[in-house]
Amino acid sequence: MRTAIVIFAKVPNTGDNKTRLTTKRGGILTLEEAKDFYEASLLDVIDSCLTANCGDIYICQNLSGNKDYMNHIVASSFGNRAVKEIFTDEGCSFDQGMQYAVDYIFKGGSDQRLADSVFIVGGDTPTLQPATLREAVQKLKQLASSPRALACAQRTNLLKPAIGAGLVESVDQEGGFNLIGYTYATPFSFNGVFYNENGITALDMIAYKVAEQQIPIGLVEMIPDIDLPADLASLLPVLNTLKLVQQCDATVVLPKRTIHYLEEIGLQTTAHVSTITD
């Protein structure tokens, strides 16, 4: 089964990246620091995806982003051929953007499709581990070969799908996900996942869609993203722990650019100590 890994990303640009981490929105970073932090995170995510070596790497970037700059930072860090292609998102919402990325790969399930399965990961998940991505790809392969998966695929409009249906996702700290993948024979779309009238979380919307279509589903470990100051504060002790773990487990890949940048600007976390009195 051919697999595509699509990194859903914004081109690093001052004022466009991680603004909720900035002082203007109650955070602690300047606009330039937020941009540099995001760029380090994005490059670490690409590094993890390349190290996983379980599919072709694509980047789906925002429509207004400077594609020349994205090409520059990727090529200067990993070489010209590390990423299969950088293409531009043409969706008008988050739902439409993620669906566009999937449709770009699957080409309607035709023989011109670029892969048989696609995984989308966020560019703001610097602790993503190659082992997690490999596990997700392997789980999807197993799910797609099951009788239940083949029966689900037969209920689509595809003519004699070569593989079965299946979906694998992560969870994040706020009722969402930062990794999701499924096969071209899976009756799933992102319509209403992030934007729905009932205020249902993205994770619950996926669960509803999976249950309705009887799609075989798998889960991998939590992958946190960094959107809010609290997320950034939680990231720092995780990075400190990873540095120790990596000394004993060679399979762990450190997000070295993120670590270096946060150390460069001197960020540290402290625990609030409360005093209990009678």
Average pLDDT (227-253) is: 94
Decide if 93 is inside a domain.
yes
Whole-model pTM above 0.75? yes
**Confidence class for position 54, pLDDT limits 50, 70, 90:** very high
Instruction: Report yes or no: 41 and 255 within 8 Å, Cβ to Cβ.
Output: yes
Run of H or E including 224: none
Decide if 278 is inside a domain.
no
Decide if 171 is inside a domain.
yes
Structural domain containing residue 132: 3-264
**Confidence class for position 270, pLDDT limits 50, 70, 90:** low
Q: How far apart are CA 228 and CA 239, in angstroms?
A: 17
**Confidence class for position 155, pLDDT limits 50, 70, 90:** confident
Alpha-carbon dihedral angle through residues 51, 54, 55, 58, given to the nearest 10 degrees:
-30
Alpha-carbon dihedral sign for residues 245, 247, 249, 253: positive
The total number of structural domains that make up the chain: 1
How far lies 234's CA from each of 130, 151, 156, 231, 276, in Å? Answer: 21, 43, 42, 5, 25
Decide if 269 is inside a domain.
no
Decide if 169 is inside a domain.
yes
Decide if 97 is inside a domain.
yes
Decide if 215 is inside a domain.
yes
Q: How far apart are CA 82 and CA 102, in angstroms?
A: 20
Convert the pLDDT of each residue in 110-138 to its tens digit: 999 999 999 999 999 999 999 999 999 99
Structure letter (DSSP) for residue 112:
T
Decide if 147 is inside a domain.
yes
- Which CATH number covers residue 170? 3.90.550.10
